[in-house]
Amino acid sequence: MATDTGDPLPRFPAGFLWGVSTSAHQIEGAAELRGPSVWDVFTAEPGRVKDGSTAAVACDHYHRYPEDVALLAGLGVNAYRFSVSWPRVASPGGLDFYDRLVDELCAAGVRPVPTLFHWDLPAGLDWLERDTAARFADHVTVVADRLGDRVTKWITLNEPAEHTLLGHALGAHAPGRRLLFDALPVAHHQLLAHGLAVRALRAAGARDIGIANSHGPTWPASADPDDVAAAGFYDTLLNRLFAEPVLLGAYPDGLGELMPGDVAADLRVIAEPLDWYGVNYYAPTRVGAPLGTRSEFGGLAIPAELPFSVREIGGRALTDFGWPVVPEGLTELLCGFRDRYGDRLPPIVITENGCSYEGLDDQERIAYLDAHLRALHAALEAGVDVRGYFVWSLLDNFEWAEGYARRFGLVHVDHDTLERTPKASYRWFRDVLRAQG
Ligand code: BGC
């Protein structure tokens, strides 16, 4: 893997947002104080989460948020991306928690950047139903009315691509459906929810709104036309299906014909102009023609009946999750987006980037983050308008279907005692932020 060269990082522009990201279900705990989400239902089903764990306690951030905000302040970030749990907001006293958290952040000089949906849909709601989009907009209004006097920067959805693919097409995440391409309405309804949320936020006075979509370069397994076509299809699913309705007001490659409802009217809502576009980047994917058997990526089984297979990238260090470490993929991705969308692309914020490794002396994480920041700077130098960078994640947390087995945090969490211990990467990032001023 690329290693930390020891050279100081290049300077990022003044006013750059430096942050870390988390999500409600992965850290909050205090599940008994809110209604259940689809993730609570899913984790209760035997065999769904690899280590059999649940997020009932998680990092107990709900009770320990002052300690976690102190960790943020000690790190020196100027922004913190967290998510607001819809089932908590819908429960008595739930919004009070976010009120307290936002106050604590403001007092510490850390800008709150809430995500309004990070996969923890209230149990009983369903993205196959169009009405869920309208219900989401109501949730957004309630949150914005309460927090909008102190929160100025908002994120509508986190990674609707993963929530559709993993949760509804492949069944690896909640709600555990295996609909393959019949999951497409889930994509459309989330996109509609995004557009309605932008309108609701603007109606509440918000002026700084983005979405956090996951993206990564797609590399064909070979120059064989079948591999190239399969990679193009995968690229459409990952990089275009959730970007183009938002940025261009159109679905790519005739996918709009497969979507439910009055798609043309919906697209006008979905394409509400954004103030910035959030990119979550972890790794590229190497994709080839179907193999007739299932393929695998970082522990995820890709069924044989899909029109592509995922192949090993090879020759790269792997994180503990089995994801290849490819920092220059971030430069390629951002320059590719700039070339593809031109002036339709608003300023970019990297809303997630990080890696899972064990240990407190996490030199691999430092090397990973160092190399990705250099790759990000290369994109800036190539003329891409990037305004911020958030590390995933502040704390070791509940990593969805992997349970507590994957550790993405700058801060180690002992999942028995809940004790927090900053890792070497926390001190490294703190020094980076100090040097950036
Ligand atoms: C998600 C996070 C997740 C991280 C690492 C992203 O897909 O937004 O919730 O923990 O990646 O898997």
Look up residue 71 and give its two tokens.
């960790």
Which numbered atom of ligand 1 lies nearest the CA of 321? Answer: 12
> Cβ(330)–Cβ(376) under 8 Å?
yes
Output the CA 262–ligand 1 centroid distance in Å.
Answer: 32
pLDDT at 5: 58
pLDDT at 4 over 60: no
Pocket test for ligand 1, best of 159, 165, 279, 395 (most atoms within 8 A of CB): 159
One of 28, 104, 159, 244 is an active-site residue; which one? Answer: 159
Residue 158 beta carbon below 6 angstroms from any ligand 1 atom: yes
Predicted TM-score (pTM) of the model is 0.98
Q: How far is CA 358 from CA 308, 363, 365, 424, 437, in A?
A: 32, 10, 9, 12, 30
Look up residue 278 and give its two tokens.
């959030």
pLDDT digits (tens, 9 = 90+) for 279-338: 999 999 999 999 988 888 877 888 999 999 999 999 999 999 999 999 999 999 999 999
Residue 85 beta carbon below 6 angstroms from any ligand 1 atom: no
In the beta sheet, which residues pair with residue 416? none
Q: How far is CA 203 from CA 138, 144, 199, 252, in A?
A: 12, 9, 6, 29
Output the CA 264–ligand 1 centroid distance in Å.
Answer: 31
CB neighbours of 258 closer than 8 A, spacing ≥ 6?
181, 184
pLDDT digits (tens, 9 = 90+) for 107-143: 999 999 999 999 999 999 999 999 999 999 999 999 9
pLDDT digits (tens, 9 = 90+) for 335-374: 999 999 999 999 999 999 999 999 999 999 999 999 999 9
Q: In 3D, which of 283, 381, 350 has the Cα closest to residue 9?
A: 381
CATH 3.20.20.80 describes domain 17-436:
yes
Tally Cβ neighbours within 10 Å of residue 315: 6
The yes-or-no answer on residue 352 being catalytic is: yes
Which numbered atom of ligand 1 lies nearest the CA of 214? Answer: 7
Long-range contacts of 300-303 (CB under 8 A, 24+ apart): 300/166, 300/170, 300/172, 301/170, 301/172, 302/170, 303/170, 303/180
Average pLDDT, rounded, for the chain: 97
- Map out the domains of the chain as residue ranges: 17-436
- DSSP tag of 318: B
d(CA 74, CA 66): 12
Output the CA 149–ligand 1 centroid distance in Å.
Answer: 29
Burial class (CB in 10 A: 0-12, 13-18, 19+), 19: buried
